[in-house]
Amino acid sequence: MSLRTPALRLFLTALFLAAAAAPVLAADVPLEFDNPALQRRYDNLLHQLRCLVCQNETLAVSQADLAQDLRGEIYRMMADGRTNQEITDYLVARYGDFVLYDPPLQRSTWLLWFGPFLFLIIALYFMARFIRSRRTADVEPQPQDKERLQQLLREPDKGE
């Protein structure tokens, strides 16, 4: 059977499309609890944790595979009866404080908390120095410029 057979081409095309659609078929299935209070707790916890791949998204909205795995792990831990604190302690022990969307203020996170303000103060300092140096810069004309200026002032206006 050669590739010129329409049936074989159709089969290979269908196989290729099925393989291309496999990631879409394996999309994240939302995990839901029967208990509404447990569901709210689960949703709130997902909004407090950071996706380690996306870094600027919570686990609740991230579409990364790792986020999907972590949502499943958190779901299993909650179903086993673990508290939010036990779950976050587990994740922090495994991934560090970075997994928390609002990391605690401690010695190791000072730069994270105060770095933007420090950067702003440094930028304002250099901006003020630049503006002050521009304002106090010598604007004294050079000798040849002085002579040309005096000559222009002595000459009558030829345009009128």
The mean pLDDT value for 40-62 works out to 89
Written as six digits, the tokens of 131 are: 């503006």
Q: What is the domain partition of the chain in residue ranges?
A: 6-104, 108-154
Tell me the CATH architecture of domain 6-104: Orthogonal Bundle (1.10)
pLDDT tens for residues 71-115?
999 999 999 999 999 999 999 999 888 888 877 788 877 887 888
pLDDT at 28 over 60: no
CA–CA separation, 160 vs 157, rounded Å? 6
Q: Which of 16, 120, 116, 30 is nearest to 67 (CA)?
A: 30
Written as six digits, the tokens of 115 are: 């770095």
The mean pLDDT value for 125-133 works out to 90
pTM for the model: 0.54
Cβ-Cβ contacts under 8 Å for 88 (sequence gap 6 or more): 45, 48, 49, 100
Going by pLDDT thresholds of 50, 70 and 90, the confidence category of residue 120 is very high
